[in-house]
Amino acid sequence: MELKNPIAIYTGIPIIVILALLGFGFIKSKKNGKKVANTEFVEQTSYFRRKVLEFRVCKVLLIAALVVGLTSLMGLLARPSRVYKHTTEIHNRDIMLCLDTSGSMFEVDLQVVTKLKEFVKNLKGERFGITVFNCQTATLVPLTTDYDYILDSLDQIAEACKIALGLDTGYLNSEALMKYQYIIDGTLTDSYGSGSSLIGDGLASTIFQFPDLETDKDRTRVIILSTDNELYGDPFATLGEAADLCMAYDIKVFGAAPEYVVDYEDYKAACEKTGGALYTMTSPTMVDDLVTSLEKTDTSVLYKTDVTVTEFPEKLVILFAIAMCTYFIVSRRLRV
């Protein structure tokens, strides 16, 4: 317990002592007053004795109520409080999931988002975001620490991938079509010759989802890139150029790909020169290995301390109210 205004105690105690001394002096001065003669008979009556006892009890109650009231008032002025310190561990890391949503990638995307759900559940303060791309890039989830929202988005992506993987099995109703469109809306264009799977553009666009790239260089930044590197069209930036941009901002890229990868060595080199790695479905533990490598990037931890000050005057207020009520009732009784 701490006192916000301890000076109230330091000044209040001397005041109570002074008042007590003054009261004692006043009572002592009355002992030498005029006396009434021939009171022996009255003093022997039961009524007189009862009144004397009542007077003495009331006098003690009056003094006690006054002392308790003044003491509780001092306590209220001193403002007793409790200070709680809560330290939160915040991991200084941003992670962006960048998914290629062209037709050949749904199986890989499904595996990646399914495994990342467990990873997201264990995050402690890291920001996580999701972009999807085909011939252009769309942001599904901007960087956020709202893990419930992220998990819900991953569930919707997984459901859309499952629907896409079963497109040739039967009629696609309107509800399923809406769920499927969750991962393709904003990634396609009606422009002729716009291409497909513009990997470099998707990766480069995702880089600038990270805020404070120039000013906050101590923050760990990671991109999980899921693509088969099968490019159709003329992108603004090649995969190599986007990887160079990642290097410039110290962003690690971890790739996930199916068994067949176009220009595997180029894709692998692009990931590795950023400090990341490429994982393919040729390994049964592809996503587990990717997540393990991702966890090792957690190199910066911050500790945020929140201080909460809680005052608790309730008991002192009740005590003061009881003392004052007692004082006024007893003082009224003594006047009778």
Query: Which residues in the chain are classed under CATH 3.40.50.410?
Result: 89-304
Q: What is the pLDDT of residue 248?
A: 93
Burial 82-103 (b: 16+ CB within 10 A, else e): eeeeeeeeebbbbbbbbbbbbe
| Count of beta carbons in the 10 Å neighbourhood of residue 260 | 13
| pLDDT number for residue 244 | 95
Matching CATH number, 89-304, of 3.40.350.10, 3.30.260.10, 3.40.50.300, 3.40.50.410: 3.40.50.410
pLDDT of residue 299: 61
Which residues lie closer than 8 Å to 312 by C-beta, 6 or more apart? 80, 81, 82
Please list the rounded mean pLDDT of every run of 10 residues in the chain (336 residues).
76 77 60 65 79 83 84 84 76 90 89 91 89 92 94 94 72 77 82 72 94 86 93 88 94 92 92 94 88 80 75 85 87 71
